[in-house]
């Protein structure tokens, strides 16, 4: 783990130097399938678009790279005989997801399956109960049962090298879904959100809400990152810290706990309870004297939930600016109740659309669109990637972002 962690940090250093390019990439409005040109090459889409003065991912800013999904997908649609990519003909696609317990993976799996089946593919969808050995054997059975493409969201991106190399030996392309698969040539494409940008959005949100450039400060900040075995966590942390670290260095932001480095702020398995316990300890040691906590950078919603639970029980001041990610229901309710400030919205429907398109492009021999060739080196190869741009939701824009887009109903949030 230690060696792995060091290699993560080294790669993170590389990411930092590339990050600003990565954060400028965005997906244009999800491409409709019929617009895809047929060639045999991989196409890199240049979608560079930067605007340094605003919080990136602000859906109310027309110049911001937002990724709007077409929520009008008809769940009962049949394969369209005039669409060259709807040519599934029963070809089998294997989908391996980490767990059903987290809403997003459950939805991701179901939506991928539904859309691929609508396009005429047969789908073997398996959830691995967050158990690495189960995931390995499920993937092996997908290889042996004739799957033509595998879509894999790894539980642990470092433990699938052998099995994806078996797929490679059997000429089965592998799409790493959301999380990268490391240390192997067996991964063919990566479909994910722009993880660095997700962190950048969180850092910018704190910068603007504390008005760090125009107010005197200092302000107290605490930091909660994700699981050290999930490299996405390093990207989130890097993006946010690229915004916040200069203010920490100048003293405008003060981390009273002194816990700033990734290994000190990581949250094992993204566990809510672990974040809550750490926040409890920080409040007892550093904020029980009445010191004001102004902001908490939380990399995702499960860590944010732990932090708000702890604040609710132990902290007497107002809720600080708290970031999150995933727009989980409990966190959206907290946002509406003023306990959490924002959550990065990764519209998993966009990632599903993109992944379905990739599968279809691979299986029909069409050009596979990517928009990034250099950010995700998995230790062995640069994995051709399509990175979908995230946006953020807060109490001001949640209606437009989450309800109008059909992601949630008003009832679910009340």
> How far, rounded to the nearest angstrom, does the alpha carbon of residue 220 sit from its chain's CA centroid?
27
- Least Å from the CB of residue 323 to ligand BGC: 12
Q: Could you tell me how many residues of this chain bind ligand BGC (CB under 6 A)?
A: 10
Q: Show the binding pattern over residues 168-187: x = contacts ligand BGC (CB under 6 A), - = does not.
A: ----------xx--------
Distance CA 14, CA 1 (A): 20
- Give the sign of the dihedral formed by CA 203, CA 204, CA 210, CA 212: positive
Of residues 218-257, which lie at the interface with ligand BGC (CB under 6 A)? Answer: 230, 232
Among all residues, whose Cβ is closest to ligand BGC? Answer: 300
Contact 116, 147 (CB under 8 A): no
Residues 332-361 that bind ligand BGC (CB under 6 A): 346
How far apart CA 376 and CA 383 sit, in angstroms, is 6
Residue 270 engages ligand BGC in binding (rule: CB under 6 A): yes
Quickly list DSSP for 63-94.
TS------TT--TTPPP-TT-TT---TT-EEE
The nearest distance, CB 257 to ligand BGC, in angstroms, is 23
* Contact track, ligand BGC, 54-83, x by CB under 6 A: ------------------------------
- Give CA–CA dist 115/191, Å, rounded: 16
Compute, in degrees rounded to 10, the torsion defined by CA atoms 375, 234, 63, 35.
50
Residue closer to ligand BGC (CB basis): 256 or 333? 333
How far apart are alpha carbons 390 and 356 in whole angstroms? Answer: 19
- Per-position x/- string for 96-135, each x denoting binding to ligand BGC as judged by CB under 6 A, each - no binding: ------x---------------------------------
Instruction: Please tell me whether residue 326 binds ligand BGC under the rule CB under 6 A.
Output: yes
Least distance between ligand BGC and beta carbon 205 (Å)? 17
Pick 270 or 319: Cβ nearer ligand BGC: 270
CA angle 250, 251, 254 (to 5 degrees): 140
Q: Do the bridges between strand 342-345 and strand 391-394 make them parallel or antiparallel, or are there none, so unpaired?
A: antiparallel
Among 300, 309, 355, 375, binds ligand BGC (CB under 6 A): 300
Contact between 323 and ligand BGC (CB under 6 A)? no
Closest approach of ligand BGC to the CB of residue 232, in Å: 4
CB of 333 to ligand BGC, least distance (A): 17
Euclidean distance between CA atoms 408 and 121, whole angstroms: 28
A 10 A CB-CB count for 111 gives 19
| Residue 378 in the binding site for ligand BGC (CB under 6 A) | no
Would you say 326 or 372 has its CB closer to ligand BGC? Answer: 326
The SS3 assignment for 129 reads coil
Q: Is 190 in the site for ligand BGC (CB under 6 A)?
A: no
| Residues of the shown chain interacting with ligand BGC in the complex, contacts defined by CB under 6 A | 102, 178-179, 230, 232, 270, 300, 325-326, 346
């Amino acid at each position: 783990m230690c060696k792995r962690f060091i290699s993560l940090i080294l790669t993170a250093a590389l990411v930092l130097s590339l990050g600003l390019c990565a954060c400028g990439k965005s997906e244009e409005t999800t491409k409709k399938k019929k617009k895809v040109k047929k060639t045999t090459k991989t196409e890199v889409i240049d979608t560079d678009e930067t605007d340094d003065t605003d919080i990136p991912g602000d859906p109310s800013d027309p110049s911001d790279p937002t990724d709007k999904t077409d929520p009008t997908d008809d769940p009962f649609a049949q394969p369209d005989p005039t669409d060259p990519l709807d040519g599934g003909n029963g070809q089998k696609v294997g989908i391996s997801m980490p767990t059903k317990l987290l809403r997003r993976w459950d939805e991701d799996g179901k939506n991928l399956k539904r859309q691929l089946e609508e396009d005429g593919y047969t789908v073997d969808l398996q959830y691995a109960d967050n158990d690495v050995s189960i995931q390995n054997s499920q993937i092996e059975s997908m290889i042996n049962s004739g799957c033509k493409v595998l879509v894999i969201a790894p539980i642990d991106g470092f433990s699938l090298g052998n099995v994806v190399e078996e797929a490679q030996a059997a000429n089965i392309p592998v799409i790493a879904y959301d999380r990268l698969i490391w240390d192997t040539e067996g991964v063919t494409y990566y479909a994910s959100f722009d993880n660095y940008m997700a962190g950048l959005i969180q850092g910018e949100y704190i910068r603007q809400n504390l008005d760090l450039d125009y107010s005197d400060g200092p302000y107290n900040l605490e930091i909660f990152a994700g699981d050290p075995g999930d490299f996405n966590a390093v990207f989130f942390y890097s993006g946010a810290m690229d915004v916040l670290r200069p203010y920490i260095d100048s003293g405008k932001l003060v981390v009273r706990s002194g816990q700033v480095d990734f290994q000190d702020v990581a949250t094992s398995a993204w566990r809510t309870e672990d974040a809550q316990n750490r926040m409890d300890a920080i409040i007892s040691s550093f904020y029980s004297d009445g010191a004001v906590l102004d902001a908490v950078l939380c990399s995702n919603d499960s860590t944010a939930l732990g932090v708000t639970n702890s604040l609710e029980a132990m902290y007497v001041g107002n809720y600080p600016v708290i970031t999150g990610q995933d727009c989980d229901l409990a966190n959206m309710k907290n946002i509406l109740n003023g306990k959490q400030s924002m959550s990065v919205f990764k519209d998993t429907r966009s990632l599903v659309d993109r992944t379905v398109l990739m599968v279809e492009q691979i299986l029909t021999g069409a050009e596979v669109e990517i928009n990034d060739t250099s950010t995700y080196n998995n230790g062995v190869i640069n994995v051709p990637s399509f990175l979908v741009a995230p946006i953020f939701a807060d109490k001001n824009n949640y209606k437009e972002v989450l309800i109008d887009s059909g992601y949630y109903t008003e009832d679910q949030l009340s």
